[in-house]
């Protein structure tokens, strides 16, 4: 019924781009942050693109995203500290600027969830599977609360938890492994749902029982290449169309 192999006992969902539409909000905040930063250094610098987001930023902890994207442009900044302000020219300062813009967007526009993902989450719970959200976002608690689906989750591993426990970010499997531990299952008994290339790579590196790639931006082949066992455009694709009204009995349909 859920499109999963036998033996799966738990579901580990990435949040941005899988359960919520906040991936587009993240992309917009990153783009404004990096474009302003790059233009201040070189008015002719090429702008930050969707491909840059997919390759270097999506699914990663904020500081890793800053570091990896700037490295792709040959730029190295001092690390700084988590207390750096949003105008500080450090890795943490650039990350803080992005977060200020993200929170402003969330405050103005709220959080939109994917209806198909909510259907799937509800179906997984009804089937008796344990569920957790695993996200690099340090705002995981706020987004889950704003999205109104906290009651469908048994555990949450986000950027705050990762920092507290010293977990490496995706593509390392640490946060997904922590999610499995929180649900009391072995990795082989859990399925990872991810839209980010780094996320499916983390699912494969952690030797999870199944990795579902969610293709929101036309990167199905890349998701498979990075470790997805199957790729869908929406989680509802795994359970088929939603029934419309009462279905006729065999007698009625004859």
Residue numbers annotated as active site: 14, 16
Q: 26-63: b or e for each residue (b if 16 or more CB lie within 10 Å)?
A: bbebbbbbbeebbeeeeeeeeebeeebbbbbbbbbbbb
How far, rounded to the nearest angstrom, does the alpha carbon of residue 139 sit from its chain's CA centroid?
12
| Tokens at 15, concatenated | 């949040």
- Rounded CA-CA distance 219/157 in Å is 26
> CA nearest 159: which of 148, 149, 174, 147?
174
- Rounded CA-CA distance 219/210 in Å is 19
Note whether 157 and 10 are within 8 A (CB): no
Is 247 exposed, middle or buried, given 0-12, 13-18 or 19+ CB atoms closer than 10 A?
exposed
Q: 181-197: b or e for each residue (b if 16 or more CB lie within 10 Å)?
A: ebbebebebbbbbbbbb
- Strands of the sheet with 190-194, listed across from one edge: 155-157, 130-134, 10-13, 190-194, 210-214, 230-232
């Amino acid at each position: 019924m859920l499109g999963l192999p036998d033996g799966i006992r738990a579901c580990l969902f990435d949040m941005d781009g899988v359960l919520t539409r906040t991936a587009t909000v993240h992309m917009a905040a990153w783009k404004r942050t990096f474009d302003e930063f790059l233009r201040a250094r070189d008015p002719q610098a090429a702008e930050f693109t969707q491909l840059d987001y997919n390759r270097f930023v999506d699914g990663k902890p904020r500081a890793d995203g800053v570091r990896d994207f700037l490295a792709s442009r040959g730029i190295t900044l001092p690390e700084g500290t988590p207390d750096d302000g949003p105008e500080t020219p450090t890795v943490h300062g650039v990350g803080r600027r992005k977060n200020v813009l993200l929170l402003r967007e969330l405050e103005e526009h709220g959080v939109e969830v994917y209806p198909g993902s909510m259907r799937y989450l509800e179906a997984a719970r009804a089937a008796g599977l344990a569920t957790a959200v695993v996200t690099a976002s340090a705002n995981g608690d706020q987004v889950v609360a704003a999205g109104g689906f906290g009651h469908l989750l048994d555990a949450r591993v986000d950027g705050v938890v990762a920092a507290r426990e010293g977990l490496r970010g995706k593509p390392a499997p640490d946060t997904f492994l922590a999610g499995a531990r929180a649900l009391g299952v072995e990795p082989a008994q859990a399925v990872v749902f991810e839209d980010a290339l780094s996320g499916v790579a983390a699912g494969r590196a952690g030797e999870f029982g199944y990795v579902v790639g969610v293709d929101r931006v036309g990167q199905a082949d890349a998701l498979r290449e990075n470790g997805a066992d199957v790729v869908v455009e929406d989680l509802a694709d795994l359970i088929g169309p939603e029934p419309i009204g009462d279905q006729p009995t065999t007698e009625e349909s004859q």
